[in-house]
A = this chain, B = another copy of it.
Amino acid sequence: MAKILVIYYSRSGNTRKMAEAVAKGAKDGGGEVTLKDVKECEPKELLEYDGIIAGSPTYYGIVAGEMKNFFDRSVKHHGKLEGKVGGAFASAMALGGGNETTVMSILQMMLVHGMIIQGKTKKNHYGAVSINAPDEEAWEECRQVGIRVATLSGKLFE
């Protein structure tokens, strides 16, 4: 089974709820899943996984500082995440409130790590987004990110 890490930063709990839906999807997609608050995760743990999915609230249009610091610290292991599968999700307070640019900022961090990203043909193309707490549609979009990353990780690593 592909090993998948779902890592998130959440203050209000909205991004955590999204992370749970992503983790559910990663299981549904055949992965062995670990769900972690970024505050309880060390960058070296990233090395243990085939797929990594990161989520953040939208702070000033991009990833929250707490998650950014985590990726900045991962520079110690630069090169070793190459070829792993990545995915992203983000919550915001409004439509047009920075959801997509936050997801893109996370994907850019992953591309610099040499990771592999897959888009989606319908609805949430880059990664899952939610306005405040995930409603039924956002929950399903989160689950789909999990399925997608686990499925691709399975193809590449099993």
Q: How far is the CA of A99 from the CA of B112 in the complex (A)?
A: 12
The answer to whether B105 touches A124, judged by C-beta atoms less than 8 angstroms apart, is no
The distance from the CB of A55 to the nearest CB of chain B, in whole angstroms, is: 13
Do B62 and A96 touch (CB < 8 A)?
A: no
Kindly report which residue of chain B lies nearest to residue A126, judged by CB atoms.
Answer: B111
Which interface class (under 10, 10 to 19, 20 to 34, 35 or more) fits A? 35 or more
B96 touches A124 (CB 8 A): yes
- Chain B residue nearest to A138 (CB atoms) is B95
Asked if A101 and B104 sit within 8 Å, CB to CB, the answer is: yes
In the bound complex, what is the Cα–Cα distance between A59 and B63 (angstroms)? Answer: 13
Q: Are A122 and B109 in contact (CB under 8 A)?
A: no
Known: A101-B104, A108-B62. A119 touches B125 (CB 8 A): no
Q: Judge whether B124 and A95 touch: CB under 8 Å.
A: yes
Verify if A39 is at the interface (C-beta below 8 Å from B).
Answer: no
The complex places the Cα of A128 from the Cα of B97 at a distance, in Å, of 10
A78 in the interface (beta carbon within 8 A): yes
Q: Do B108 and A113 touch across chains, with their CB atoms under 8 A apart?
A: no
Near B by CB (< 8 A), chain A positions 86-109 give: 93-101, 103-105, 108-109
Which of A20-28, A29-37, A44-52, A65-73 lines the interface with chain B? A65-73
Tell me the A101-154 residues at the B interface (CB within 8 Å): 101, 103-105, 108-129, 131, 137-138, 141, 152
Contact A113 B121 (CB under 8 A): yes
- Select A121's contact among B79, B100, B123, B152, beta carbons within 8 Å: B79
